[in-house]
Amino acid sequence: TDDELKDLQKLNGTFTITGTYPNYKLIQDNGTIVYPTAENVSAVTDSKGFGDHKRAQFYVNYYPENIKTENGTTVIRDAELKDGVYLAERKVITEAEANKAGLLKEDSIYTVTSVDSWLAYGYLNSIFTAYYSKEGTEIINPTVNLCAKSTGDNAVTFTLLYNRHQTSGTNCEGSFPYSFDITNFEVPGNDSITVTLEIKGRNPSCIKVGRKDFYNHAN
């Protein structure tokens, strides 16, 4: 009804996907928990579920009566997913691995136009815009890696390596959502961790997080 639509609430954010088809628990990076209905999951995934995907941006609809605070956490039940996109998931690589693969060569690293980065539940996330190339109708797919450059006590520096491979053909700009699993990378010390992210063409950015947030995935 019109009154029901007027009360409908909307939410969008980045989530870690837990659970199994069709009963999923989605944990937003700010800690909010969303339980979509089994019927909704079946409809939006063509009865296939989310497969091996662990990270996604979702647009969520829910009614006010279905949002509660449980043990200090905001929980939304009987939610409906309206749209979404998976984040490309990658493991962090070491500087030795990057060198061996030739990823650190100066002519293999390109600038990005803009970037939004944050860390949550053991994932370093970057949604950035950058130029890529097309030859006719064929897209030259860029390569994206995150390299652990250096560590110190309670500190680590990562470098985002964006390689568009060529600049001939048509110049296009696109948005690239990535989520890097950093939980297998040890940082010495026992305090909160300062994460520095370097990207060619941008000023380095720093994120300070607790060790739990650095190492633990949502569950």
Rounded mean pLDDT, 20-38: 97
| Residue 145 amino acid letter | N
pLDDT confidence of residue 124: 97
Quick one: tokens of 181?
């699993």
Q: Let me know: does 147 contact 197? Beta carbons within 8 Å.
A: no
Q: Which of 85, 73, 78 is nearest to 9 (CA)?
A: 78
Percent share of the chain, pLDDT over 70: 97
pLDDT confidence of residue 219: 81
For the stretch 123-165, pLDDT in tens is 999 999 999 999 989 999 999 999 999 899 999 999 999 999 9
Rounded mean pLDDT, 156-180: 94
Asked whether residue 1 carries a pLDDT value surpassing 90, the answer given is no
pLDDT band per the 50, 70, 90 thresholds, residue 185: confident
Rounded mean pLDDT, 4-24: 90
Residue 11 has a CB neighbour count (10 Å cut-off) of: 17
pLDDT confidence of residue 199: 96
Residue with the two structure tokens 């995907």: 53
pLDDT confidence of residue 6: 65
The structure's pTM equals: 0.90
pLDDT band per the 50, 70, 90 thresholds, residue 27: very high
Rounded mean pLDDT, 61-65: 96
Rounded mean pLDDT, 53-67: 96
Lowest mean pLDDT among 156-160, 177-181, 182-186: 182-186
Q: Which of 84, 30, 80 is nearest to 53 (CA)?
A: 84
Rounded mean pLDDT, 21-30: 97
The backbone torsions φ and ψ at residue 98, rounded to the nearest 5 degrees and listed phi first, read -65, -40
